[in-house]
Amino acid sequence: MDIREEFLKFFESKQHERVASGPLVPDDATLLFNNAGMVPFKSIFTGEVPVPQNPRATSCQTCIRAGGKHNDLENVGHTARHHTFFEMLGNFSFGDYFKEEVIAYSWEFITEVLELPIEKLWVTVHESDDEAEAIWQKYVAKDRIMRLGDADNFWQMGDTGPCGPCSEIFYDQGEEHFNGPEDYMGGDGDRFLEIWNLVFMQYERSADGTMNPLPKPSIDTGMGLERVVAIKEGALSNYGSSLFMPIIRKVEELIGKEYEYATGASYRVIADHIRTTVFLLAQGTNFSNEGRGYVLRRILRRAVRHGYLLGFRKPFMYKIVDTLVSIMKSQYEYLGQKAEVIKEQIELEEARFFKTIESGIALFEKELETTKDVFSGEVAFKLYDTFGFPLDLTEDMLREKGLSLDTEKFEALMTEQKQRAKAAWKGSGDEAVHGDFKALLEEFGENVFVGYDFTEHSGEVK
């Protein structure tokens, strides 16, 4: 079953306009990357742009959550359900239908098109949302509806603007996967898998915090394609599905070692990161030392380091590009057209890091010998500065050892280095140019651009 196509067709049959995915780097300076299906429609929801003739839309949006307030980078390899790059299926109502219809549509899609067994489905609503609970009771038993607080079930676009309660649909992977309280809905375990978030944009929050009902409430939904594909294919982890397994198999073939779930985090990180890397390159973001290009560089280097753990000693990521392209090209034609150039770019960037990774890892291991709990900020800085180990990469390595890092010292050294660089520009006769660059630096930061993001009343948003 082509779930992407089934979803879009289903909502077209409900009079939705099929809209192509927006770019990963949106025309929106407040966002690092597009991180949700609603992003391309943001200005319609806020009223800046008039509602299109058809007030219903559906899309399959490519998303990246690897920075800013939505950051799943640290989850990759560790949870069964998170990726840095993923596809979000969505349906949207711009002041047209509301709770009643969206719940009916999503139930119909899940039970009649996807044919997921009803006994496996659970839903959550906001604790204040009697209306949504009453509607859900037409479809699911009362004890399958959980009421959760703001952290899980309230959405807002920003500190001001449209906001409202949401309702989420979960799939029960089975009692045998219950490992304790972290497995409850909203938690991080494997039993209850969140598949679909229905957002009811119902209020407008003003600067003083008051919430007023919107005259025409709207709907925004997001369902993770990879999670649904995994469920339909009977895979407990997204990585066990046909969207990822061919990539993992290719890595196995290249290194000549078999993948196993329990010990296979490195394979999963590589399979995840190659997708993010290829899509970003295909859409024109290049490896660089700042901004989005630095996020891309960090992601590739993390993957290379995991390859190193598996035993790779020279570039290998570029060799799995074709496998990814063959999985994705029917939906994303541009990947096929750009594959050759992308492979060259990746190989070059890998080669650059393979030159220093060996010495960097040696330095890291040597430092470990004398590390008790906290790893030296000085050494982390040297790893960064001399060997090209991004800070988050060193942190990823430390996490495996259960150690923390003296980030204060690292930051201090970083600041010193920046000041030295600034001082060096002074009197170089190039102030005008550097002035512009300085403004950019101030706006975007050097190496550490984190991006702004939608805020949510959510535990994960810091």
Q: Under the rule (CB under 6 A), what is the footprint of ligand ATP?
A: 65, 72, 81-83, 86, 88, 194-197, 222-224, 226-227
Q: Which does 236 bind (CB under 5 to 8 A by kind): Mg ion, ligand ATP, none?
A: none
Q: Which does 379 bind (CB under 5 to 8 A by kind): ligand ATP, Mg ion, none?
A: none
Give the residue with the Cβ less far from ligand ATP, 192 or 410.
192
Stretch that binds Mg ion, among 186-194, 308-316, 396-404, 410-418 (CB under 5 A): 186-194
Least Å distance, CB 79 to ligand ATP, is 8
Give the residue with the Cβ less far from ligand ATP, 40 or 224.
224
Least Å distance, CB 135 to Mg ion, is 19
d(CA 325, CA 333): 9
d(CA 163, CA 217): 10
d(CA 155, CA 132): 15
d(CA 308, CA 389): 13
Stretch that binds Mg ion, among 20-28, 33-41, 188-196, 232-240 (CB under 5 A): 188-196
Stretch that binds Mg ion, among 5-13, 192-200, 236-244, 344-352 (CB under 5 A): 192-200
Residue, CB closest to ligand ATP: 224
Q: Which does 81 bind (CB under 5 to 8 A by kind): Mg ion, ligand ATP, none?
A: ligand ATP
Least Å distance, CB 197 to ligand ATP, is 3
Least Å distance, CB 66 to ligand ATP, is 9
Give the residue with the Cβ less far from Mg ion, 197 or 277.
197
With beta carbons less than 8 A apart as the criterion, state whether 24 and 443 touch: no
Q: Which does 88 bind (CB under 5 to 8 A by kind): ligand ATP, Mg ion, none?
A: ligand ATP
Q: Which does 302 bind (CB under 5 to 8 A by kind): ligand ATP, Mg ion, none?
A: none
Locate all alpha helices (DSSP H) within 25-154, ordered by sequence. 42-46, 99-108, 130-136, 150-153
Residues 44 to 103 in contact with Mg ion, rule: CB under 5 A: none
Q: Which does 133 bind (CB under 5 to 8 A by kind): Mg ion, ligand ATP, none?
A: none
R_g of the chain, CA atoms, integer Å? 23
* Binding flag, residue 153, Mg ion (CB under 5 A): no
What would the two tokens of residue 99 be?
């709770």
> Tokens 């994303």 sit at which residue?
332
Residue, CB closest to Mg ion: 197
Give the residue with the Cβ less far from Mg ion, 41 or 384.
41
What would the two tokens of residue 456 be?
């949510």
- From residue 447, how far is each of 29, 252, 270, 390, 414 by CA, in Å? 17, 33, 22, 9, 10
Q: Is 338 helix (H, G, I), strand (E, B) or coil?
A: helix
Least Å distance, CB 329 to ligand ATP, is 21
Least Å distance, CB 228 to ligand ATP, is 8
Q: How many Cβ atoms sit within 10 Å of the Cβ of residue 444?
A: 17
Paired sense of beta strands 17-19 and 161-172, if any: unpaired
d(CA 332, CA 62): 10
Least Å distance, CB 424 to ligand ATP, is 40
Give the residue with the Cβ less far from ligand ATP, 85 or 364.
85
d(CA 396, CA 75): 11
Contacts within 8 Å (CB) and 24+ apart, 171-179: 171/116, 171/120, 171/121, 171/122, 171/195, 171/227, 171/231, 172/120, 172/121, 172/122, 173/236, 177/236
Give the residue with the Cβ less far from ligand ATP, 153 or 323.
153
H or E stretch covering 142: none
Least Å distance, CB 196 to ligand ATP, is 6
* Binding flag, residue 197, Mg ion (CB under 5 A): yes
Q: Is 147 helix (H, G, I), strand (E, B) or coil?
A: strand
Give the residue with the Cβ less far from ligand ATP, 80 or 251.
80
Give the residue with the Cβ less far from ligand ATP, 88 or 282.
88
4 contact partners, CB below 8 Å, separation of at least 6: 60, 87, 89, 225, 331
Nearest to 346 by CA among 279, 255, 426: 279
Paired sense of beta strands 145-148 and 154-156, if any: unpaired
Count interface residues toward Mg ion (CB under 5 A). Answer: 2
Give the residue with the Cβ less far from ligand ATP, 99 or 338.
99
Give the residue with the Cβ less far from ligand ATP, 35 or 447.
35
271 contact partners, CB below 8 Å, separation of at least 6: 239, 244, 247, 248, 251
Least Å distance, CB 459 to ligand ATP, is 9
d(CA 291, CA 68): 11
Stretch that binds Mg ion, among 83-91, 187-195, 269-277, 447-455 (CB under 5 A): 187-195
Give the residue with the Cβ less far from Mg ion, 220 or 396.
220
What would the two tokens of residue 244 be?
């990822």
Chain residues that interact with Mg ion, rule: CB under 5 A: 194, 197
